[in-house]
A and B are shown apart, each in its own frame.
Chain A
Amino acid sequence: MSLIEAKGLRKVFRQAVKEPGLRGAVKHLFTQRYVDKHAVDGIDLTIREGETVAYVGPNGAGKSTTIKMLSGVLVPTSGEIRVDGFVPHKQRMENAVRIGAVFGQRTQLWWDIPVRESLNLLKDIYQVPEDAFRRNLDAFVELLGMEEFIHLSARKLSLGQRMRADLAAALLHDPKIVYLDEPTIGLDVSVKQKIRSFIKQMNRDKGTTLLLTTHDLGDIEDLCERLVIIDHGRIIYDGSLQAVKDAFARERTIHLQLGSELEDPSLLFSDLPEVGMDRTGPDRLAIRFDRFRITASEIVKRIITQADVADFHIDEPNIESIIRRVYEGSLDLELAAESPVAASREA
């Protein structure tokens, strides 16, 4: 059973066009011209219960707009949405108790009252039973390290603290679905780590379905099994994260530090044209290769016989470089569709 179902989802914003200068401004008083901006342009998305989905794309691709429509904040221009059987913007109340959301840029805490009071208020608003509330609150305080700031008002919190408090606020009523819109934006590594492991635990223990937008690829690799890439309001890839990696992340780089200088390293792999080599220093080498054509051990073996290797490490390409290439259009996603493990759907 799919929990979230969206068909032909479309959102068009009408934007006023003002001509430049005073003349344009005066003119705008009398005649308004508008252009339509297609923020989301025909999206089909099905998410099953318990799935963890990363929803990524460049700025302005339509990620937040989609999430806002799914959560009932925005009314779609056309298309259908069902979330757990409800139409979010029509059955707002029914939908609201089933979802939790964190919009990284905004807080849902009350600005001027202590976090604890905010959470208490949310308990009443969502009608969370007292014992469930206690249990959740205790667990959240511990997992997210909230003791130090739970008595402070939201306005006094640092960004990292606020985000943790917001996350607790969004999950307090055990929602089936959690929408996270850039939950780790601007956070330091340790807070990011806390937030990620918290989300992971919620997904594991409670089967919470997760839809996450982010620009942080660590989030995706850490949290999500499925990757949906959107650009210009259309889905350009929808499939497993592993499939993308398999299809596009074939290249590996071995960085070597040599104990003694090699006279002519280019001779090393002269018989293998697909292996590339860069001299990154007098005693450093970087060797690029396709892991499906030659293994790392073969490469290392060959070098050790020829040179004195002091140290080496292997770089795997991160999802970042892959997604960047997709954004830039230099990766053909049809390839992913042909790869047996990937299931790409044309938007």
Chain B
Amino acid sequence: MKKYVSLAVCSMQNTLSYRLSFVLNFLGSFIALLATYFLWRAIYDGQSELAGFDWNQMKSYLLVTFFANSMLSYYSESGITNKVMDGTVAMDLLKPLNFQKARLAESLGSCVLEGLLSALLISVLAIAAFGIPMPVDGVSGILFAISMLSSILVKFGIVYCTALICFYTTSGFGVIWARMAVTNLLSGALVPFAFFPDWLRNVAMALPFQGIVNTPTTIFLGMSDTREAILLIAVQWFWIAALWLLGRSMWGWAVRQITIHGG
């Protein structure tokens, strides 16, 4: 266990040493957030409510989505993919480490920084401009925190399995983009599920992606009662376990595909 903790700490250090690129990457998603913010403001112009969301709820939705998305950003995701792509996975195989646990440790390590930075930014925004309603009571606050942490693990599961696909395609970019597009749509990051047609909402609810954005936002906005919230979190954990197992068997398969060429 200790080795994975050390790995997480090192990953944090690593992220810090790329602080400029890290911050730029972060600013990039922040600008995207502003763009969506103004887009939604234009949509809400003259409307008091859309699909059950009023403007204040929408603002909260955007901020929580931003928070969820800044965890395990492209930056940490490409870290896993790059390992597969540039053959450094060979170096990992030489170490007495479980590949999946090691990647999780690293991802969580950099998540801490990503989380801190975006939490900071969001608080500033919330106080300065947005003025968002916080969860009504302590219980839903705690449930939100749990669902947020679970969201990271769901996302890790998806990211990890996607990265392993690169063993097969031997190219990471397309796979990551496809994953991002699918995730953005089906997690509710682009548009809340409430705006979806019924069939698409049903599809999305049956997939793991909703655990990333839809679950924490629903709980944050108090759109579910305590029982429903616990159920949503249980679904998240179902997916965390399922994706972990999937990742494990994919890794077993991927190891057999490793074709690092050498002289």
Contacts and interface: CB of A to CB of B under 8 A. Distances in A.
11 contacts: A60-B263, A73-B93, A89-B255, A96-B95, A110-B14, A111-B14, A124-B2, A124-B5, A124-B6, A126-B95, A127-B2
B263 A61 contact: yes
B263 A59 contact: yes
Given A106-B91, A113-B10, A124-B2, 19 more contacts: A13-B259, A13-B261, A59-B263, A64-B262, A71-B93, A72-B93, A73-B94, A74-B258, A93-B98, A96-B97, A106-B87, A106-B88, A106-B90, A112-B13, A112-B17, A125-B97, A126-B95, A126-B96, A127-B2
Contacts of B258: 73-75
Most buried by A among B2, B5, B261: B261
A162 interface: no
A13 B88 CA distance: 19
A63 B262 CA distance: 8
Interface residues of A, number: 40
A165 interface: no
Contact of B3 (A75, A108, A111, A124): A124
A110 B10 contact: yes
A112 B261 CA distance: 26
Contacts of A71: 93-94
Contacts of A181: 262
Interface residues of B toward A: which range? 20 to 34
A interface secondary structure, majority? mixed
Interface of A: 13-14, 59-65, 68, 71-75, 89, 92-93, 96-97, 99, 101, 103, 106-108, 110-113, 117-118, 120-121, 124-127, 153, 181
Nearest to B7: A121
Interface string B77-99: 00000000001101101111110
Contacts of A68: 90, 260, 262
B97 A117 contact: no
A120 B90 contact: no
Contacts of A73: 90, 93-94, 258, 260
Nearest to B5: A124
B18 interface: yes
B227 interface: no
Nearest to A108: B91
Contacts of B263: 59-64
B88 to A, nearest CB: 7
Contact of B14 (A62, A112, A127): A112
B93 A92 contact: yes
A108 B93 CA distance: 11
Contacts of A65: 262
Chain A CB count within 10 A is highest, among B10, B96, B258, for: B96
Contacts of B256: 75
A14 to B, nearest CB: 8
A167 to B, nearest CB: 14
Which of the listed residues B5, B88, B91, B97 has the most CB atoms from chain A within 10 Å of its own CB? B91
Closest 5 CB pairs of A and B: A64-B262, A124-B6, A96-B96, A112-B17, A125-B3
Given A68-B260, A93-B96, A112-B13, A103 B3 contact: no
A113 B17 contact: yes
A119 B256 CA distance: 29
A113 B17 CA distance: 8
A1 B6 CA distance: 37
